[in-house]
Amino acid sequence: MRAFVVEKYGKDGARAAEVAEPAVGERDVLVRVSAASINPLDKMVRNGEFKQLLKYKHPFVLGHDVAGVVTRVGSAVHSFEAGDEVYARPRDLRIGGFAEYIAIDVDDVAPKPASLTLDEAAAVPLVALAAWQILVERGQVKPGHKVLVHAGAGGLGSTVVQLARHLGAEVATTTSPDTEELVRSLGADIVIDYTKEDFSQVLSGYDLVLDSVGGANLEKSLTVLKPGGLAVGVVGPPDAGFAKQLGAPAFLGFVMNTLSRKIRKRAKALGVRYQFFFMEANGSQLRKLGALYDSGQLRPVIDTTFPFDRTLEALEYVEQGRTKAGKVVISMARESD
């Protein structure tokens, strides 16, 4: 089958290739991929930024988000059958959405939301799962909570803004002027143009901040929290909880705690909290999220769609920060679909 594989770590490490169709384990669902989507994580994995933690064996197929049609299931799978339309963020070490077929652990798969096309559904899993795990699990966001979402027009931010609003929060977001109207339409109550205004001078008393920018932006984010408030960082620095989540050896937990010591100390001094977050595959959460897409509470935001053959170009497009808002989708668009 055709696929885009990582042959070696580095910027030029990915290429188109003919590879064998994946083996289907007893708990697997074999999916004929209709669409995939790009995440910044693809570039990071291709570059080897996670190689100490996620031990991929070269060559491996890249791609963390897929939607498609089930063609076969393993002997222990009873919840899906051939012909079902599904979507998934396959778990780490079993990624591979930039291919004609992918075998996915059944626990990571959910029925595609009926109201979305397969192309639209491919834009959803990773960012929607991250939004759910940040707001519902970590943040326990309730009606009336104040939530600041940085980069509200990004693939992640555009989903977190919508879910925070759905959960009843008052939502503030940072974005550039071109996308102000979009983020308001997604449910942002307060929109800050980060190119002109310093959010930390205008916001205060927040229960939760999602920081996807890092560095000085994260440090400033701590200052808008109310006492006990939580800053969730998705770009780092990592903490020991991340090493534990990935089952990494204890010394890596120590290293990560050292990397985040300064920001955790700063948070403590301000009477607030900092936690690093890395999303996890979860099919049952995708089912719940699917219902929110079908009821119109959430909608995918798609910047551009590339044909499958141009997957490397699509990766570069995202890497160069050329997206205006939302996600970049890769479509198989076969004659038979």
Ligand X SMILES: NC(=O)c1ccc[n+]([C@@H]2O[C@H](COP(=O)([O-])OP(=O)(O)OC[C@H]3O[C@@H](n4cnc5c(N)ncnc54)[C@H](OP(=O)(O)O)[C@@H]3O)[C@@H](O)[C@H]2O)c1
Choose among 122, 158, 151, 170: nearest CA to 330.
122
User: Smallest distance, Å, CB 24 to ligand X?
Assistant: 28
Tally DSSP H helices, then E strands, for the chain. 12, 16
Residue type, 181: E
Segment near ligand X (CB under 6 A); pick from 110-118, 222-230, 277-285, 291-299: 277-285
The answer to whether 279 contacts ligand X (rule: CB under 6 A) is yes
A 10 A CB-CB count for 333 gives 13
Alpha helices, DSSP H, located in the chain? 40-47, 118-122, 125-132, 155-166, 180-186, 199-202, 216-222, 240-245, 250-259, 261-270, 283-294, 311-319
Secondary structure (3-state) at 106: helix
Q: Which residues pair with 33 in a beta bridge?
A: 68
Considering only residues 72-111, where is the footprint of ligand X by CB under 6 A?
none
Which residues on neighbouring strands pair with residue 38, listed in sequence order? Answer: 328
Angle at 47 between CA 42 and CA 48, to 5 degrees: 100
Q: How far is the CB of 179 from ligand X (least distance, A)?
A: 6
234 touches ligand X by CB under 6 A: yes
**Smallest distance from the beta carbon of 198 to ligand X, in angstroms?**
11
Q: How far apart are alpha carbons 196 and 181 in whole angstroms?
A: 16
Q: Which is nearer to ligand X, 22 or 154 (CB)?
A: 154
Q: Tell me the per-residue interface mask from 10 to 49 with ligand X, x by CB under 6 A, - otherwise.
A: -----------------------------xxx--------
* Of the residues 157, 187, 253, 290, which one makes contact with ligand X according to CB under 6 A: 157
- What are the angstrom distances between the C-alpha of 287 and each of 4, 65, 108? 28, 15, 10
Is residue 272 within 8 A of residue 224, CB to CB? The reply is no
Q: Does 130 bind ligand X (CB under 6 A)?
A: yes
By the rule CB under 6 A, 217 interacts with ligand X? yes
Contact segment (CB under 6 A) with ligand X among 28-36, 47-55, 149-157, 263-271 equals: 149-157
Q: Which is nearer to ligand X, 26 or 49 (CB)?
A: 49
Q: Which residues contact 80 (CB under 8 A, 6 or more apart)?
A: 29, 70, 73, 86, 106, 109
274 near ligand X (CB under 6 A)? no
Tell me which of 154, 187, 237, 253 binds ligand X, using CB under 6 A.
154
Closest to ligand X by CB, 41 or 169: 41
Binding segment for ligand X (CB under 6 A), chosen from 14-22, 73-81, 210-218, 285-293, is 210-218
> Closest separation between CB of residue 174 and ligand X, Å?
4
Q: Is residue 156 part of the contact set for ligand X (CB under 6 A)?
A: yes
Q: In the bound complex, which residue of the shown chain has the CB atom lying closest to ligand X? A: 154
Query: Is residue 212 near ligand X by the rule CB under 6 A?
Result: yes
Instruction: Give the distance between the most distant pair of CA atoms in the chain.
Output: 60
Q: Between 96 and 154, whose beta carbon lies closer to ligand X?
A: 154
- Interface with ligand X, residue 151, by CB under 6 A: yes
Binding footprint of ligand X on the chain (CB under 6 A): 39-41, 127, 130, 150-151, 153-157, 174-176, 179, 194, 212-213, 217, 234-235, 277-279, 318, 323
